[in-house]
Structure 1
Amino acid sequence: MNDIGGPHVDVSNLSVIFGKGRKRTAVVKKARFHIARGQAYGLIGESGCGKSTILRALAGLIPHYQGSFIFDGQPMTGARDKAFFRRVQMVFQDPYASLHPRKQVYKVLAESLAIHDMDRREERIRDVLAAVGLGPNFMYRYPHELSGGQRQRVAIARALIIEPEVLLLDEPTSALDVSVQAEILNLLKTLRRERNLTYLMVSHDLAVVAHICERVGVMHKGIILEELTADDLRQSRARDSYTQDFLQASVEAVAHNHDKDMQ
């Protein structure tokens, strides 16, 4: 589908302020970006730069923000309703914390279908598990019986089962081993292509966003300093001095980790 009539996700002058008086802190300052339907946009930066706060504000987990969030042509104001979550789902960083430890996979997935009053539940559960690379034998397992990668596949299945249009991805691979990270990233890439999903991904890892996203906003102290293409990232092309330093530090960290692995 083409993005006729404007972006799928359009954010303008988004600011998030915590505290009052002398404790007042602007965590996000006038963030601006847009994402066309079926595209993937990344927010990257050091811990505490405000990137996850943007994700949580858009998801309605932080209700008090300033600025504009227009989703598919409709301004979003106040609390998010069930209709919004039918179309926009979030995948969190830690798959173990985001899954109920005493609920089998079937129950976790069935709850989402029940909330949105969707039919053919067992069929949908089987289909979505297959889509994320898990067989039907995983339906009756508990989270502690799954590996980290399998838990994250279940978390992605939970987001996908109600057939949303947009996934908000909060560091979806950072809690996983490097070998498993690649599998999950390739899965996300395939799912996006097959289902024409729109992604907003937050990460501190250059390689992760360059693998998934066409465009990336580089954040520092609550501000999106500049926007780069995935190719700019790979070639370390940046105008802002902080971005240049950040890219260089990331390249050096990757080289250092590679050298340690070879020893």
Structure 2
Amino acid sequence: MTLPIPPALEVIDLNITFGRGAKANHAVQRVAFRVAPGEAYGLIGESGSGKSTVLRALSGLNTEYRGAILLHGQELPAVRDKAFFRQTQMVFQDPYGSLHPRKMVNQVLLEPLVIHGLDRPQQRVDEVLRAVGLGPAFRFRYPHQLSGGQRQRVAIARCLILEPKILLLDEPTSALDVSVQAEILNLLHRLRAERGLTYVMVSHDLAVVAHLCERLAIMNGGRIVEEMTAAALRAGQATDPYSRALLAASIGYRPAAEQDTFAEA
């Protein structure tokens, strides 16, 4: 008898509250979803919907939550250990703010290797820079010497250098120009296929999530109001009134040239 494979990530009845008493803000309310190994799953919503707060709890940056977060079927403690960070890494929204401005790329990439005691440090740095479409020569540049897209590639390389199985993506393209967004999305798509990665991606942009993810959840007011496939999203098959309004607003707002960019990417 073959045992079922547990989800790579599972969130059960997640609740997060900021503040106390009359000023308490119940930012995340009874959120639950599963992400299969190798799947790309998206959380969509407007600013303040709670999507990034969920991602911070998944990453271990927010330890004040109620409910359960499971990694490969095992419940995680609120305070994570080094083994968790070997398996799960996070790509942040701002590729400049997430890199130390006074450290060369080489130092940025060597640091996690030193923390986790991995061998062949310089070889690993060269390999991961090639994997993200840069090259060993970029080891000796500072963040201010890189374009926005190059900085985000370095941020992705910093995550990949530990060979994790799960990447948490917090609006990884929103700070980039549209043409560069498509390049980074295609890079993430290729890396996932090559390395068997699992993604959880947060975005306010439906087109970005539909491009990368198979399934997604739409959040409003701290709750998941609808879960659907990317194919259903593209077909306009949302059933929740808020989801339909968000979809209509997204289609109406996105310029035709931008729609073409993602359609061709």
TM-score, length of structure 1 as denominator length? 0.96
SS of residue matched to 1:38? coil
**Cα separation, partners in 2 of 1:20 and 1:146, compared to 1, 3 Å:** same
Distance apart, 1:6 and its partner CA: 1.4
Report the equivalent of 1:198: 198
Q: Does 1:46 align with 2:50?
A: no
For 2:251 and 2:3, the matched residues in 1 are separated by 34
Report the equivalent of 1:138: 138
Do the aligned residues in 2 keep the contact of 1:12 with 1:69 (CA within 8 Å)?
yes
Unmatched 5+ stretches in structure 1: none
Do the aligned residues in 2 keep the contact of 1:50 with 1:221 (CA within 8 Å)?
yes
Q: How does 1:31-42 map to 2 (within 5 A)?
A: 31-42=31-42
Report the equivalent of 1:101: 101
Report the equivalent of 2:125: 125
For 2:235 and 2:220, the matched residues in 1 are separated by 20
Distance apart, 1:258 and its partner CA: 5.5
Do the aligned residues in 2 keep the contact of 1:3 with 1:36 (CA within 8 Å)?
no
Distance apart, 1:3 and its partner CA: 9.7
Do the aligned residues in 2 keep the contact of 1:3 with 1:37 (CA within 8 Å)?
no
Q: Does 1:211 align with 2:211?
A: yes
Report the equivalent of 1:224: 224
For 1:214 and 1:4, the matched residues in 2 are separated by 21
For 1:255 and 1:161, the matched residues in 2 are separated by 37
Moved more, 76-85 or 211-220: 76-85
Q: How does 1:162-181 map to 2 (within 5 A)?
A: 162-181=162-181
- Tell me the percent identity: 59
For 2:236 and 2:12, the matched residues in 1 are separated by 27
Do the aligned residues in 2 keep the contact of 1:93 with 1:173 (CA within 8 Å)?
yes
Report the equivalent of 1:156: 156
Q: Deviations over 1:196-241 (max 9, x none)?
A: 0000000000111001100000000000001111111111111100
For 1:47 and 1:171, the matched residues in 2 are separated by 11
Unmatched 5+ stretches in structure 2: 260-265
Report the equivalent of 2:78: 78
SS of residue matched to 1:31? strand
- How many residues end up aligned between the 2 structures? 259
Do the aligned residues in 1 keep the contact of 2:178 with 2:258 (CA within 8 Å)?
no
